[in-house]
Amino acid sequence: MMKHQSCSWTFFTISCLLLLSPVFVSSKCTRKAHDSHDQNTSEALKYKLIAISSILFASALGICLPFFVKNLSYLHPDREAFFLIKAFAAGVILGTGFIHILPDAFESLTSPCLVQNPWEKFPFAGFVAMLSAIGTLMMESFATGYHKRLELRKPQPVSGDHEENSDQDDNGAGGVHIRGPAFALKRANSSDLNRHRIVSQVLEMGILVHSVIIGLSLGASKSSKTIKPLVAALSFHQFFEGVGLGGCISQAKFKLRAKVIMILFFSLTTPTGIAIGIWISRSYNEASPMALIVQGILNSASAGILIYMALVDLLAADFINSNMLYSFWLQLGAYLTLLLGAFSMSLLAIWGGN
C-alpha cells in the first residue's frame, strides 16, 4: 500500500512539474526581462557613451597600429618578430571564436525562452558554425581559383623569344618582355597577394558580424553593472582583434581608398551597434525568441568564420613557412605567443562576465 502511494505521489509530482514547466520557463524569461528594466537607465546611458568613445579609440588604434610600424625593419614580414606578432593575433582571433562567440551562440539557441522548438533537440549553434567554416573554405577556394585562372589567361613569354625581344630592335625601339624566371616570380607574388586580399576581406566580414551583435547587446542593456566591466573588456577585445585584422590588411597591399574603407568599417561597427542598441532599447527584448534565434545564428556563423580563418589562413600558413620550420626557437616563441593571445581572450571572458 505504501509502495503504491509512493508511486502515485511520484507520478503526481512529475506530472505537476511537466505541466508547470512552461510557467517556470516563462517566469524565468519574464524575470530576466524585468531585471533588465529595473535599472538606473541614466547611469547606464552614461556608461554606454563612455563605451562608444573607448571602443572607437581602441578599435582605430588596433587596426592602424600595423600600418604605423610597418616601416620598422624588424617587423618586416620575413623577420621573426612579425611571425610572433601574427601568432599572438591569431590566438586572439581563435580565442574570440571559441571563448566569446560560440558559447554565446549555444546560450542563445538553447535558451529556456525558446519553448516551441527544434532548438533544444539539435545543436544548431555547432551546425551553423560548421556550415560557416565550410562556406568560408568554399568562398576562398572559388575566389583563389578564379584569380589563378585569370593569371593563366594572361600572355606568357615564349622560351627563347623573350631574350632576343628584350633587346633593342633595328629601329632602336625597345620591345622589352618579361624574362621567364621574372615572370614566374611575378605570378607567384600576384597569387600570394590575391590570397592575402581574400583572407583579409573574409576575416573582416566575420569580425563585423560579431561586432554588430555585441554592440547591439551592450546598447540595449539597461544594467550599469553589466555595462561597466564590458567597457574595458570590449576595448581590449577590439584592440587585439584590430591588430590581427590590420596585419592582414597591411599584407594585402590594398589601395589607399580600400584600406581607409576597411579601417572605418571595423572602427565604427561596434560603436554604431551600441548607438542603434540605445535607440531601440525601449522596444528591444533580448529574451524574445526572435532576438535569441537571430543572435544565435549570426554568432554561430561568425564563430565558424573566425575559427577557420585563425587555424587555416593565419596559423597553418605561417607554421609551415620555411623560416619557421628551420628555427626551433622561432617555433617555440610562436607557440608561446599563440597561447598568450588565446589566454588573453580567455581572461577577458572572465572579466567581461561572458
Let me know if 305 is exposed, middle or buried by CB neighbors in 10 A (0-12, 13-18, 19+): buried
Among the residue ranges 119-123, 180-184, 223-227, 304-308, the one predicted with the least confidence is 180-184
pLDDT on residue 176: 47
pLDDT on residue 164: 43
Q: Are 119 and 108 in contact (CB under 8 A)?
A: no
The residue that leads in pLDDT, 90 or 338, is 338
Among the residue ranges 3-17, 205-219, 325-339, the one predicted with the least confidence is 3-17
| Share of the chain residues as helix, strand and coil, in percent rounded to the nearest 5 | 80, 0, 20
- Smallest CA-to-CA distance from 197 within 140, 273, 117 is with 140
pLDDT on residue 70: 75
Query: Does the structure show a pLDDT above 50 at 197?
Result: yes
pLDDT on residue 271: 93
The residue that leads in pLDDT, 34 or 129, is 129
**In the predicted model, what is the mean pLDDT of the chain?**
75
Average pLDDT over residues 36-54: 78
Residues 6+ apart with CB under 8 A from 286: 36, 217, 220, 221, 292, 295
β-bridge mates for residue 168, sequence order: 174
Query: Does the structure show a pLDDT above 80 at 257?
Result: yes
Grid coordinates representing 136 are 568560408
Query: Does the structure show a pLDDT above 70 at 201?
Result: yes
pLDDT digits (tens, 9 = 90+) for 133-173: 998 888 878 877 777 777 677 666 555 444 444 444 444 44
pLDDT on residue 34: 46
pLDDT digits (tens, 9 = 90+) for 264-316: 999 999 999 899 888 887 777 777 888 888 888 888 888 888 888 888 877 88
pLDDT on residue 4: 43
pLDDT on residue 253: 84
Among the residue ranges 21-35, 52-66, 121-135, the one predicted with the least confidence is 21-35
pLDDT on residue 33: 45
pLDDT on residue 155: 64
Share of residues in the chain with pLDDT > 90 (%): 13
Alpha helix (H) residue ranges in 69-169: 80-95, 102-109, 124-153, 161-165
Residues 6+ apart with CB under 8 A from 270: 55, 56, 59, 211, 212, 214, 215, 234, 238
Average pLDDT over residues 38-46: 73
pLDDT digits (tens, 9 = 90+) for 116-139: 666 667 888 999 999 989 988 888
